[in-house]
């Protein structure tokens, strides 16, 4: 997994490439935590994500909750059909703002 963080004022865009699984999810979570300060808008671009495990889903859910706690917003963009199917099967499609 590769994650590119683009911080602009109070907005953070995270472009992720590869798999978000039990090996890479803790790294993603750690990188998100390191970039939280002052963020009220989080955009996660999953265009290049080819797989997500329950560990990856947990990181995305926790990020969403953290944004809610600080009265911020989170958007998940460019979800491919395979990842979208996982979101639908787990109910995440109703918990997240998907574009």
pLDDT tens, residue by residue, 18-42: 999 999 999 999 999 999 899 999 9
Question: 4 is written with which tokens?
Answer: 């590119």
CATH of the domain at 18: 3.30.750.24
To the question of pTM greater than 0.75 for the whole model, the response is yes
- Parent domain of 63: 2-98
Domain count of the fold of the chain? 1
The reported pLDDT for the residue numbered 30 is 97
β 11-20/2-8 pair status: antiparallel
- Indicate the pLDDT class of residue 84, thresholds 50, 70 and 90: very high
Region label for 28, one of left (φ > 0), alpha (ψ between -120 and 50) or beta (otherwise): alpha
Q: Is 8 exposed, middle or buried (0-12, 13-18, 19+ CB in 10 A)?
A: exposed
The reported pLDDT for the residue numbered 49 is 98
What's the rounded Cα separation, in Å, for the pair 20 and 59? 9
């Amino acid at each position: 997994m590769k994650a590119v963080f683009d911080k602009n004022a109070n907005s953070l865009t995270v472009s992720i490439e590869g798999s978000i699984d039990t090996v890479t999810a803790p790294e993603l979570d750690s990188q998100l935590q390191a970039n939280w300060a002052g963020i009220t808008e989080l955009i996660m671009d999953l265009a290049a994500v080819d797989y997500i495990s329950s560990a990856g889903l947990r990181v995305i859910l926790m990020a969403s909750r953290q944004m809610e706690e600080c009265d911020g917003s989170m958007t998940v963009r460019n979800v491919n059909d395979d990842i979208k199917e996982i979101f639908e099967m787990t109910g995440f499609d109703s918990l997240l703002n998907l574009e």
